[in-house]
Amino acid sequence: MKYEGIILRQISGFYDVLSDEDVIQCKARGIFRKEKITPMVGDKVTIDRDEKIIISISNRKNQFKRPLVSNIEHLGIVIAAKDPVPDHLLIDKLIMSALINKITPSLVINKTDLASKEESERFENEYQNTGYSIFKISCKEQIGINDLKEFYSDGIICLAGQSGVGKSSLINLLCADTSQQVGELSIRNATGKHTTTHAQIVPLPTGAMLIDTPGFSSIDVEDIAPQRLHYYYAEFDPYLGHCHFDDCMHDFEPKCVIKKAVNDGKVPSTRYERYVSILRSLQDKKGRNIR
């Protein structure tokens, strides 16, 4: 019988496929090797339940090396309201990287128990007119976790952010109602050595699925053409196309409506300044490639 399913994890050539609430350990059809396709965690697959074989793999929405997962739907960018000091450039790049890969970014401000109201609100103000969802939580005091669970109600979720912001703490809280083991699985292979498996995804009670190891690369940002960078700033949207020059990059150009919006306080100056710094690095890179 043929069934649809999703690959939750991969252990030494076997794939655990979630199908109709059962987890079935399958092998991949031999033909995949010939076609140079390797099934990966996150893949939507068709399996033969009797033969325990993966028959086909649906087209991937996106796929990553780190984490080695496909079809990511949500990127939860975790920030600490206090300790460590936020790396805003990283946050901005993670947002862009999500957008490049058709992923919905959301911002999760953790450790609100350590920060004053003003400190937590500073981040909100910085990102509020991007339109992305912003959550204020405390893993320590378990505040705001249920709202987050409700928001992440479908698709595969990846958490990313600086070290020490509370990603692992949050993964543990989100998975608290599941029977799944979280963290890298360590298994003994035939020679008795411990091998570490790749990331796995954990089905949550809401229907969403969480990648159990944090991390997401923002390397794709380096491939953005400088003149396209402004499309990755949602708060620039209402102004794009209204600058004096059609090809305005909102840098040195006169009569620029983005710069005016920054001066009028409609676009946060900090976001704009980081836009310029990323723009310069993309232009430098392009210049180097041409030479």
Residues near ligand GDP (CB under 6 A): 110-111, 113-114, 138-140, 163-169, 214
84 preceded by a cis bond (ω within 30 of 0): yes
Instruction: Please choose, out of 63-71, 192-200, 251-259, 282-290, the segment that lies near Zn ion by the rule CB under 5 A.
Output: 251-259
Residue 248 binding partner per list ligand GDP, Zn ion, none, with a CB distance cut-off of 5 to 8 Å that depends on partner kind: Zn ion
Which residue's CB is nearer to ligand GDP, number 180 or number 227?
180
Q: Which residues contact 183 (CB under 8 A, 6 or more apart)?
A: 212, 213
- Sort 207 into a burial class: Cβ within 10 Å, 0-12 / 13-18 / 19+: exposed
Which residue of 45, 80, 256, 261 would you call a contact of Zn ion, by CB under 5 A? 256
In sequence order, the β-bridge partners of residue 32 are none
Alpha carbons 183 and 185: distance in angstroms, whole number: 6
Instruction: Please choose, out of 16-24, 38-46, 158-166, 257-265, the segment that lies near Zn ion by the rule CB under 5 A.
Output: 257-265
- Sort 67 into a burial class: Cβ within 10 Å, 0-12 / 13-18 / 19+: buried
3-state DSSP call for residue 255?
coil
Structural contact between residues 74 and 106, judged by C-beta atoms closer than 8 angstroms: yes
What's the length of the chain? Answer: 291
CA angle 241, 245, 246 (to 5 degrees): 45
Residue 111 binding partner per list ligand GDP, Zn ion, none, with a CB distance cut-off of 5 to 8 Å that depends on partner kind: ligand GDP
Smallest separation (angstroms) from Zn ion to the CB of 80: 33
Instruction: Please choose, out of 8-16, 52-60, 99-107, 255-263, the segment that lies near Zn ion by the rule CB under 5 A.
Output: 255-263
Smallest separation (angstroms) from ligand GDP to the CB of 170: 7
- 248 scored as a contact of Zn ion (CB under 5 A): yes
What are the structure tokens assigned to 280, written together? 């310069």
Smallest separation (angstroms) from ligand GDP to the CB of 90: 12
In sequence order, the β-bridge partners of residue 25 are 16
Smallest separation (angstroms) from ligand GDP to the CB of 139: 3
Which residue of 24, 174, 243, 262 would you call a contact of Zn ion, by CB under 5 A? 243
Alpha carbons 232 and 230: distance in angstroms, whole number: 5
Residue 250 binding partner per list ligand GDP, Zn ion, none, with a CB distance cut-off of 5 to 8 Å that depends on partner kind: Zn ion
Structural contact between residues 270 and 126, judged by C-beta atoms closer than 8 angstroms: yes
Which residue's CB is nearer to Zn ion, number 45 or number 249?
249
Residue 186 binding partner per list ligand GDP, Zn ion, none, with a CB distance cut-off of 5 to 8 Å that depends on partner kind: none
List of residues contacting Zn ion (CB under 5 A): 243, 248, 250, 256, 258
